[in-house]
Homo-oligomer: A and B are copies of this chain.
Amino acid sequence: MLNRRIAEILRSGKPDESLLVQGWVRTKRELKGFAFIEINDGSSLANLQVVINEDVPEYETTIKNLNTGAAIEVAGVLVASQGKGQRIELKAEKLKLYGEADPETYPLQKKRHSFEFLRTIGHLRSRTNSFGAVFRVRNACSAAIHQFFQERGFLWVHTPIITASDCEGAGELFNVTSLDLKNIPRTENQAIDYSQDFFGKPTYLTVSGQLEAEVMAMAFGNVYTFGPTFRAENSNTSRHLAEFWMVEPEMAFCDLEGDMDLAEAFLKYIFEYVLAKCPEDMEFFNQRIDNSVLATAENIINNQFERLTYTDAIKLLEKADVKFDYPVSWGLDLQSEHERYLAEQLFKKPVIVTDYPAQIKAFYMRLSDDEKTVRAMDILAPKIGEIIGGSQREERLDVLERRVIAQGMKPEDLWWYLDLRRYGTVPHAGFGLGFERLVQFMTGMGNIRDVIPFPRTPQNAEF
């Protein structure tokens, strides 16, 4: 008998079809001589309703154990449902109980649980409606990202997680070492004896794959990374993770305009893809989590993003009839409140701010002829603020060396990165997207810990 998944049955199952379903009980309603069981197999938000009559041979022995969380297999025939809420239901003919879930101890009973509580049972929370929807949407976002880039001939490149360079100056790095922490070996002059460490020198968890992605772009033209990155930042907020996934495309022969075009097409594509693949989950978020989620998605998809320079943005902010907590002045970075004002109040759609002051941006961004600004861009979206940050890269060896030195770094530590400018350099550009921020944005989930299966945050590496 054909084993089918519930999403597919609910979509296209027809009365009189015989099939086999496997999943977990969500609810049970016992009536006289029969019972309704709602089962879920993770393929969709909606459950399949199963009707089990007492004529089913296993009814008497198993019905008392078909509690929330139990794993069962049902063979039966689809019938048109007479109840409300579903088109079709399964009339059981044969029943198998795989694993029980004791209602006295199983933590997921049929009531609403707080997200805080569910974080303490991270190994079970995916069995709830909310987290089921989150991780289906997360998967759809991931698949959309790969499909977008693969369709356009970009290569997925796997940049290293363990790195010996801390040259982005992010500062908050995790150490990676095979040394025995209880007994760190020392040299004669009491320095750490890194010759005994696995890599023979200090190593860290990467904060970005960009520099290595640039290497690959200089050979393949268009590439992207999609992998984990790390920040040992002691921030206990709803927007920070110590371990998070990042997407970083990099394009040779591309300037900031091409970069913005790609980023805008990319965001629209992902939202369209997820709306098409997970309409039911997205509807759920809109109803239960944040009732602006669908409108925001439509806003992204249907609007041409506004593009303006940082300098113009500052002028608009200075004129704004709003009292900001943080000062607005040319040379200062935009704060979240400023970004949200631009996207939500003023333009009411995504805004791309370009050409930021050089001193508040990274050394690798291309210096403009004014020598004051760099060809950077941030995409600010309504409801969340900055979602993408990118730039055209400095491709001129002399300018890059100058900026490396100005920021207190040693050119020799970046010898290979500088070599890219020495041999066959080209204008190139790229951007970074924090993947969990995107999933937060898409689902309306308030806390970033609730959009990654096993969040890593200060004092928490459980599961």
Q: Please report A residues at the B interface, Cβ cutoff 8 Å.
A: 3, 5, 7, 22-25, 41-43, 69-71, 73, 98-102, 105-106, 122-124, 126-127, 131-132, 135-136, 138-139, 142-143, 146, 150, 153, 155-164, 174-179, 181-182, 184, 191-192, 198-203, 205, 212, 215-216, 218-221, 227-228, 230, 232, 234, 242-243, 245, 252-253, 395, 416-417, 419-427, 452-454, 456, 458-463
Contacts and interface: CB of A to CB of B under 8 A. Distances in A.
A42 to B, nearest CB: 3
Contacts of A132: 219-220
B135 A71 contact: no
Given A101-B423, A458-B198, A462-B164, A245 B126 contact: no
A332 to B, nearest CB: 30
A117 to B, nearest CB: 15
A199 B456 contact: yes
A227 B153 CA distance: 21
26 contacts: A22-B221, A25-B424, A43-B220, A70-B424, A99-B395, A99-B423, A101-B422, A123-B416, A124-B423, A126-B215, A132-B220, A135-B157, A135-B216, A159-B453, A160-B453, A160-B454, A160-B463, A162-B242, A164-B462, A174-B198, A179-B181, A181-B202, A182-B191, A198-B232, A199-B459, A199-B460
Given A221-B5, A424-B71, A161 B161 contact: yes
A220 B42 contact: yes
Nearest to A150: B143
A179 to B, nearest CB: 7
Q: How many identical subunits does the complex contain?
A: 2
B160 A243 contact: yes
A98 B43 CA distance: 51
A320 to B, nearest CB: 39
Given A162-B174, A177-B177, 16 more contacts: A22-B253, A71-B253, A98-B426, A99-B423, A99-B426, A101-B423, A106-B423, A124-B419, A126-B215, A135-B157, A143-B150, A160-B456, A174-B177, A178-B232, A181-B192, A215-B463
A24 B425 CA distance: 9
Contacts of A242: 162, 198-199
A41 B142 CA distance: 27
A216 B452 CA distance: 12
Contacts of A43: 153, 220-221
Contacts of A98: 253, 395, 424-427
Which 10 residue pairs are nearest across A and B when measured between Cβ atoms?
A: A99-B425, A42-B220, A126-B219, A123-B416, A199-B461, A139-B155, A71-B424, A22-B253, A101-B423, A200-B459
Contacts of A212: 453-454, 463
